[in-house]
Amino acid sequence: MATQIDKEAVREAYNDVRDDNTETNWAVFKYEGTMIVPAGQGTDFEDFKKMCTDDARLFCFLRFTTGDAMSKRAKFTLITWIGDSISGLQRAKISTDKSLVKDIVQNFAKEIVISDPKELDEDYIREELRKAGGANYDAQAM
């Protein structure tokens, strides 16, 4: 059976993360049978990490504040989490199902696929966003 997505619920969670007037900085989307649905939202990065378990396959939309001395701005990333216990068939399916999520979650600076819990490091993700962000005017030693 083909995977479907709860478009309205996913869009609502996505817009909440993008909204500058909310403190929400992450939303996670999971599989419930053949349907992709919101699994949670929040403000604490550690709460987000707890959702990324060995038996989970998730799509995660996160907001980070990045920038330098000249400007601060919100940057967004789309993370595909694939736990170690996920079967080969489910791993293959997540790559095709990602297009359903990306039809709604369209604005992000960096897309990352993670299956190693060590890469679920806030500094690692922030650095990946910084690299994708272009110019950096911080004082730098030459």
What would the pLDDT profile of 36-90 be if each residue is shown by its tens digit?
999 999 999 999 999 999 999 999 999 998 766 677 788 999 999 999 999 999 9
What mean pLDDT is predicted for residues 106-130? 91
Domain boundaries, the chain: 4-16+23-132
Confidence of residue 141 (pLDDT cuts 50, 70, 90): very low
Burial 14-34 (b: 16+ CB within 10 A, else e): bebbbeeeeebbbbbbbbeee
User: Residue 104: which H helix or E strand, with range?
Assistant: none
If you write DSSP's letter for every residue of 15-65 in order, what string do you get?
Answer: HHHH-TTS---EEEEEEETTEEEEEEEES-HHHHHHH--TT-EEEEEEEEE
**23's tokens:** 């403190």
Residue 130: per-residue pLDDT: 81
Residue 127: per-residue pLDDT: 87
Sheet containing 57-67, strands listed edge to edge, beginning at the edge strand earlier in sequence: 4-5, 35-42, 26-32, 57-67, 72-82, 110-114
Taking the model in full, what pTM does it have? 0.89
Q: What distance lies between CA 142 and its chain's CA centroid?
A: 34
CATH classification for the domain delimited by 4-16+23-132, as one of 3.40.20.10, 3.40.605.10, 3.50.50.60, 3.90.1150.50: 3.40.20.10
